[in-house]
Amino acid sequence: MPVTDKDIILRGITAEVVERIVQLKKARDGLEQKYGSLEGLERRMEQQGVSPDDHTPYTDLLEWRAINRELSDLIDILESM
């Protein structure tokens, strides 16, 4: 069965999406090692607030939420292919 241009494009898209998913999961794993869980970090932020001297936990919280959203979107793309 010959490979079509559409097949080549889909394989390329799939490869890029999978590569991005791997990158995002590595980043999420790093945050999990640092904070334990997203829920734990959210509770910490609710209880302690944001330090005027160190916004790192807040920035990490935003990053973690963005990672989860992008992962969800990319998985939806893969499932729709």
Contact of 74 with 23, CB cutoff 8 Å: no
Confidence (pLDDT) at 36 = 96
Look up residue 15 and give its two tokens: 């490869």
Closest CA to 78 of 6, 15, 7: 15
Confidence (pLDDT) at 3 = 82
| Mean pLDDT across 53-61 | 93
Confidence (pLDDT) at 2 = 82
pLDDT digits (tens, 9 = 90+) for 10-47: 999 999 999 999 999 999 999 999 999 999 999 999 99
Look up the pTM and report it.
Answer: 0.86
- The domains of the chain are located at 5-80
Confidence bin at 7 (pLDDT 50/70/90): confident
- The Cα 14–Cα 64 span in angstroms is 23
The DSSP 8-state label assigned to residue 30 in this structure reads H
First to last CA, the chain: 20
